[in-house]
Amino acid sequence: MNPNSVRFLQHQAASLLLYQEVLMGEAGEAFVQLLETLYRHDKPSACVYAYARWFRALVARGQSWQDYLIQRLLYDDNPFTRQAQSYPFSDLDATLVQAARDDLAALQHLATCGGPTLSQWVRQVTKSESSLVAIRDRIGEHPVQLGETWTEALPQLAAFHQHHGAGILAQYHVLRWRPSCLQGVAVPDPVRLEDLAGYESQKATLVENTQMLLDGHLALHVLLYGSRGTGKSSLVKALVNEFGDRGLRLLELLKSQLHDLPHIVEQLRELPQKFILFVDDLSFEDDDEAFKALKVVLEGSVTARAQNVVVYATSNRRHLIREFFGDRPRPSAATEIQSWDTVEEKLSFSDRFGLTLTFDAADQARYLEIVRHLAGQRRLTLPLEELDAQALQWATRHNGRSGRTARQFIEHLQPQLQQNPPLKSDDPWNA
């Protein structure tokens, strides 16, 4: 092992100006520590331990060292990637471009020092003849292929960020809000618009409003309310699967997080992506502070409304704030003089959404329409009469007629048909 080679790599790691966080993951930190122990080479056991830590971090991810570095740099959030997501490559700041180019060159040097090289260096330091398992060097498929000279791929890298975004917004289409930061959802609900049937006018209206958002226009906040199991939440989640490649992002918020809404909107305001802030099963108690935070976002304040953000909320209640008969003023009661104004404010809160979509309980015809749609998608070979009869029986024994009940019925029926297919297949789906 040549100490100068190790020292060169240490210098490359320390010289990163924009992409420092690429080496701040577990495997990256273990790599830097391994270089340090190799350069000192006064404690062989420390070298072995550092190598084991680096090895374990990569094996746990199922990645080579090269794939790890490329994935980290593709989804890094830094001044270059943030500017690249908003402007063409030719308009980027020349200083940022040069810094990014230098960082890519340094990272490629680090990538050349993979499993076989590090394994050999550790054996030389420890003077061990025994084998030390090495992670094979390889570069798999990535959204951007960096080629033999990474710096030459900088325009392609900038184009990737302009189309997909930077940082976590490039990696995930669906996100959650965690204290003061966004968190990506690695396995979002895969539901698609084509999977949903039975409420076509509501779906068309919501898609049209979302298209307005994507086209840069001021879209309306939407309240989807109605009976449980009618597909309100699924419809909202399907939008990001349909339009995620056009820059749409879905940010799920719990009702307890609504007090962060103004702060969240300010974080998202200047980003090029379009955001649906999704609040599921919304309702408020009388003195709920979250009511005030949502009201500010819906109605606006002295700050201009963010044009790239809308709120889509679902609820089983038309009036989102719970009201009791005791809340209504009596002439003899010593309550506020204009107490009916307070009642009206509660009852009209849902009107602050620009668009309200109603999802009525499914009647028998709509329920069977949904069942047939789902059965057709999954190519279930069952005569329609028998399918309808079993579906109605299922609804009677379970949760009544709804889209959710229809989906549960099909999910129950499909494995049964796979195990015991009908003797005669009257397949209506091939008609």
Amino acid 179: pLDDT = 81
Q: Are 362 and 370 in contact (CB under 8 A)?
A: yes
Q: Are 283 and 321 in contact (CB under 8 A)?
A: yes
- Nearest Cα residue to 97 out of 152, 145, 20: 152
First-to-last alpha carbon distance for the chain, in angstroms, is 72
Residue range 193-359 in CATH 3.20.20.10: no
Q: Are 237 and 250 in contact (CB under 8 A)?
A: yes
Q: Are 100 and 18 in contact (CB under 8 A)?
A: yes
The sign of the torsion formed by the CA atoms of 386, 389, 393, 398 equals positive
pLDDT in tens, the chain (431 residues): 678 899 999 999 999 999 999 999 999 999 999 999 998 877 888 889 999 999 999 999 999 999 999 999 999 999 999 999 999 999 999 999 999 999 999 999 999 999 999 999 998 888 876 678 889 999 999 999 999 999 999 999 999 999 999 999 999 999 999 888 899 999 999 999 988 888 889 999 999 999 999 999 989 999 998 888 788 899 999 999 999 999 999 999 988 888 888 889 999 999 999 999 999 888 766 555 666 777 777 776 667 788 999 999 998 865 554 544 455 555 555 454 444 444 444 445 666 788 999 988 878 888 888 888 888 888 887 888 888 888 888 888 887 888 788 888 888 888 877 766 665 545 554 44
Sequence-distant (≥ 6) Cβ neighbours of residue 210 within 8 angstroms: 219, 239, 243, 248, 276
By CB atoms closer than 10 A (0-12, 13-18, 19+), residue 206 is buried
Query: What's the predicted TM-score (pTM) here?
Result: 0.80
Backbone angles phi, psi at 87, to 5 degrees: -135, 155
Count of beta carbons in the 10 Å neighbourhood of residue 331: 5
Beta pairing partners, 276: 250, 310
What is the Cα–Cα distance from 177 to 158, expressed in whole angstroms? 27
Q: Coil, helix or strand for 57?
A: helix
- Nearest Cα residue to 149 out of 183, 107, 210: 107
What is the Cα–Cα distance from 388 to 46, expressed in whole angstroms? 69
Tokens at 100, concatenated: 């990014």
Count of beta carbons in the 10 Å neighbourhood of residue 58: 20
Domain boundaries, the chain: 3-171, 193-359, 364-430
Beta pairing partners, 278: 252, 312
Amino acid 222: pLDDT = 93
Backbone angles phi, psi at 46, to 5 degrees: -65, -35
How many residues are there in the chain?
Answer: 431
- Nearest Cα residue to 250 out of 319, 205, 184: 184
What is the Cα–Cα distance from 397 to 203, expressed in whole angstroms? 29
Q: Are 73 and 107 in contact (CB under 8 A)?
A: yes
What is the Cα–Cα distance from 10 to 36, expressed in whole angstroms? 8
Amino acid 343: pLDDT = 44
Under DSSP, the state recorded for 313 is E
Sequence-distant (≥ 6) Cβ neighbours of residue 273 within 8 angstroms: 165, 169, 247, 248, 249, 308
Helices and strands counted in the chain (H then E):
17, 7
Q: Are 141 and 63 in contact (CB under 8 A)?
A: no
Tokens at 352, concatenated: 């602050």
What is the Cα–Cα distance from 160 to 60, expressed in whole angstroms? 27
